[in-house]
Amino acid sequence: MIIDEQPEFRSLLMHHITTHWPDALIAAYDPTEAGHLPDEFSGAGNDLILLGSQHGDREGVDVLRRFSQKKGFPPLIYFGTEDDEAEARQLAPDAHFIRDRIHHKSLIVRLTDVLLSRRIVASTDSLFVGDMRTGIHPLIKGYRFIRKLGATEHSGVYLAERESAHLQVVLKVLRQVPDQNDSIGAFDRFLQEYETIAEMDHPNIVRIYDLGVSDDHAHIAMEYLDGGDLRLQIDAGVGHEKALAYLRQIASALSAVHAKGVLHRDLKPGNIMLRSDGSIALIDFGLAKRARLESEITDKGEIFGTPYYMSPEQGHGNGVDERSDIYSLGVIFYEMLTGEKPFRADTAMGIIYLHAQAPVPLLPARLAEYQALINMMLAKSPEDRLQSAAEIEEWL
């Protein structure tokens, strides 16, 4: 959870976090817009609290003092100024930085150290260490391990074979950490991702085969998409006809997602996979959220996603709806057509600024017929965009 009144600073911290931990779920809280957090705020459900020094009419060190005195409060990282540095260090937060002198590597190393010291980071490397002659882990019966694909702080991702069907699947395995405050929160988010995707029966959304739960593990078995992600296609070059075909499929999938009242909120080429037959499938609904659920206190002013693909309203922590996903898809369409992102800057704040203020870039003359669609998808105001993913299909 990131707490500070400046949206640009919150977005900067979010960019540092998601660059290293792409699956991180971030709640960004503005104490001037949403009001100061109440005295009973315990920070429960968060791995880290990143506390900035800007809190409107309150001094940052006063807020730091109040939080640091709470028993059982999550690890607290303070981003202050040179003026309050001495006082802040006396309060002994878990880590301390000067807010205008943040370096990515040192920040990530320090945050990792804090997480490890609190034993929050859970390794999933040992999930498949059972009988390596068969590759079957005793806690995940029925699956033969093939290789590890990746990992986050709470889960591991593996290629495995479902023995009953001799079917290759991707296993996403959550490691439950005993006696950790965030274990239940991570478990709930894990199940929410499964439930979100499992409700979707659509050819352009990843298929879910199984959910399993044991005493200290949960797993999702999902379709193995062996065609790589859309990033690889863009790097290799996507012709305009193929870009249109991909756009139609992604828009169709979004229509189904939005019809369920769900926003994806992290639509980007890395979350769009290809099958061997060339068809598209949306994956990674870890940031998805039901649009109709009421936000809890820690959800006010939240910022999710990746800056290159964020809508203006998402980048500034404002409310989002289906039209924010449409904007992200517009960015992807532009990138498929040209091989370039529409907005580039040296910092996350710079990219967010350009999304909100810079004019929609012009396509090369050979692609001019798609300019009107790009304009309608990348309009700064949601009211000026296409209003639904179905309208993209109708326009095409």
Stretch among 285-289, 318-322, 346-350, 364-368 having the lowest mean pLDDT: 285-289
Average pLDDT over residues 188-194: 65
Instruction: Give the CA-trace dihedral at 65, 67, 69, 74, to 10 degrees.
Output: -140
Q: How far apart are CA 151 and CA 167, in angstroms?
A: 22
Q: What is the C-alpha to C-alpha distance for residues 295 and 34, in angstroms, rounded to an integer?
A: 12
Instruction: Assign domain 230-395 one CATH number from 1.10.510.10, 1.10.10.970, 3.50.50.60, 1.10.3720.10.
Output: 1.10.510.10
CATH topology for the 143-223 domain: Phosphorylase Kinase; domain 1 (3.30.200)
Tokens coding 178 = 């005993």
Q: Is 266 a catalytic residue?
A: yes
Q: How confident is the model at residue 115 (pLDDT cuts 50, 70, 90)?
A: confident
pLDDT band at 25 (very low <50, low <70, confident <90, very high): confident
Strand partners, 169: 160, 223
Determine the Cα–Cα distance for residues 9 and 393; give it in Å rounded to an integer: 37
Q: What tens digit of pLDDT does each residue of 203-260 get?
A: 999 998 887 765 456 788 889 998 888 999 999 999 999 999 999 999 999 999 888 8
The full set of domain ranges for the chain reads 2-117, 143-223, 230-395
CATH 3.40.50.2300 applies to domain 2-117: yes
Per-residue pLDDT of 35-56, as tens digits, reads 898 888 888 878 899 999 999 9
DSSP 8-state code for residue 135: T
Do domains 143-223 and 230-395 share one topology? The answer is no
Q: Which of 30, 84, 266, 284 is catalytic?
A: 266
Residue pointed to by tokens 């009211």: 383
Please tell me whether the overall predicted TM-score, pTM, comes out greater than 0.85 for this model.
no
The number of angstroms, rounded, from the C-alpha of 207 to the middle of its chain's C-alpha atoms is 20
Query: What pLDDT, in 10s, does the model give residues 326-385?
Result: 999 999 999 999 999 999 887 778 888 899 899 999 999 999 999 999 999 999 999 999
- Return the bridge partners of 186, or none: none
Distance between CA 268 and CA 234 in Å, rounded?
A: 12
- Here the tokens at position 290 are 């039901």
Quote the CA–CA distance of 348 and 263 in Å, as a whole number: 22
SS3 state at 393: helix
Residues facing residue 150 across a β-bridge: 157
Task: State the Cα–Cα distance between residues 190 and 119, nearest whole angstrom.
Answer: 19
